[in-house]
Amino acid sequence: MVLFSRSIRANLRVPVARISGEIDIVKICSLASGSNGNATWIATDRVRILVDAGLSRKETLERLRRAGEPADRIDAILITHEHIDHVAGILPLARGAYQEKKADVPVYMTPITARAIDWAEYTPKLEHFQAGTSFVIGDVEIFSFTIPHDALDPVGFTLKTQGIKIGVVTDLGYIPESVKVHLRNCDVLLLESNHDLEMLKVGPYPWSVKQRVMGRNGHLSNDVACDFIQNELNTTTSTLILGHLSEHNNHPAIVRLVADQALAGRALFTRLVIAEASQPTEVFCY
């Protein structure tokens, strides 16, 4: 577990206590990030939120345990879009029967995304929102925004709680100005760095798939992610998590090398983390 104190806007972090003397804690962990499944854990002392449910129920709970997080309760599931690597575990996780409180878990998604999912014999407790709107879950304010991807109504999220801003944005072909605005002043940012262009060009995918990945509704290359780091990443971002790496067209060592180069010379107090598909990251606490 990596412990940070609450952010103040000068790259200096000091503990901030409540009147009661307790320190507010916000926890963030990427449980999985990749084409085989995506899930991000965000928790406060009031709510536990899962952003995307791309792992099975068993694997999700196991990774929470491996991360040292309680697996007996999920209060809400946020869905970015309908692709299987983001919703594969949604039904068993939403049922809630495994939880201490035994209640169904509300699932937040746009109406268009909801209509794209085969709910089979069970429809969870759906909470609809329109892309571009905000809503509150417990002590967390959530902002949604449209992203360019080849899904029906894909969104990214920023979450604000206790003075901390968290951005989760993967599965996008490029970074429009509107997305850059939403990602300003994030303390923690999970950003896609999907593929190395040369590896993709010579890799095993059919040309039609390569065109899709490289297209404006596909996935971010390392080059585009690094351009964002060099020119847009805020000084407030203390933890940058690069994720959704392609298994065939990228490698964590390549991503770390080029991202470290992008960060060099910016004098940022930013920790670089490469999220993996096979295991959770550390739990980052603020």
- What does the pLDDT average to over 13-41? 74
Kindly list the domain boundaries of the chain, sorted by start residue: 2-8+18-285
Burial (CB count <10 Å: 0-12, 13-18, 19+), residue 214:
middle
Q: What's the pTM?
A: 0.92
Q: Is the pLDDT of residue 8 over 60?
A: no
Between 13 and 222, the more confident residue is 222
Q: Is the pLDDT of residue 5 over 90?
A: no
CA 213 to each of CA 38, 70, 180: distance values in angstroms, whole numbers, following the listed order: 17, 36, 21
What is the distance, to the nearest Å, from the Cα of residue 263 to the centroid of all Cα atoms in its chain?
A: 21
Strands (E), 202-270: 239-243
Q: Is the pLDDT of residue 36 over 90?
A: yes
Residue 39 dihedral angles phi and psi, to the nearest 5°: -160, 135
Q: Is the pLDDT of residue 12 over 70?
A: no
Q: Which residue has the tokens 């899930």?
A: 39
Correct CATH for 2-8+18-285 of 3.30.56.10, 3.30.1490.20, 3.60.15.10, 3.30.230.10:
3.60.15.10
Tell how strand 107-109 and strand 76-78 pair up.
parallel
